[in-house]
Each structure stands twice: as structure tokens, then as C-alpha cells.
Amino acid sequence: FIVLTALLWAAHIYADTHIDMVARQQANIAYVLWVLAMFCTLITPMVITDTFVRTMGREAPVLQAISRNPLVYFLVGNLSDG
């Protein structure tokens, strides 16, 4: 994920400077690369943490809490984003 994230950021910077500026309304290549790079940037620490915890032979406490109360987390997530 780290290499993929770096490649996406490099491709985004190249597309933003040489092809076209980021425009959400047009959904151009710079915007798509920016969204993918942001997603990978946010998910990479989670993947690394999950891999580290699973190699220790146990499940993450956050996952245990969500598994016990899925409806509460679903409702809180829906209410918190408007």
C-alpha cells in the first residue's frame, strides 16, 4: 500500500501540473488520481496496524467492539455525517 500510495500521489502531481487542474465537476484524471491517493493515504495506516496486530495472534480491540455493537456504530456513523 505504501508504494501504491506514493505512485498515486506522483501520478496526481504529474496530471495536475501537466494535463489539467483538479476539477470535481469534470471528474478529470487529476481528480480521480487525487481521490485514489487520498483513499490510499487514509487506509495505509489501518492496513499496517491490522497486519501488525494480527501477526501478534489477536484481534484489534476496535474490531471486537464494533463486532459486538454493529447497530450502534452504524447509527452513530449515519447521524454524524449529516
Taking only the tens place, the pLDDT of each residue in 5-57 is 888 888 888 887 887 776 666 667 788 888 888 888 888 888 888 788 777 77
Q: How far apart are CA 72 and CA 77, in angstroms?
A: 8
Task: Please give the model's pTM, rounded to 2 decimal places.
Answer: 0.59
Cβ distance 34 to 52 under 8 Å?
no
Cβ distance 34 to 22 under 8 Å?
yes
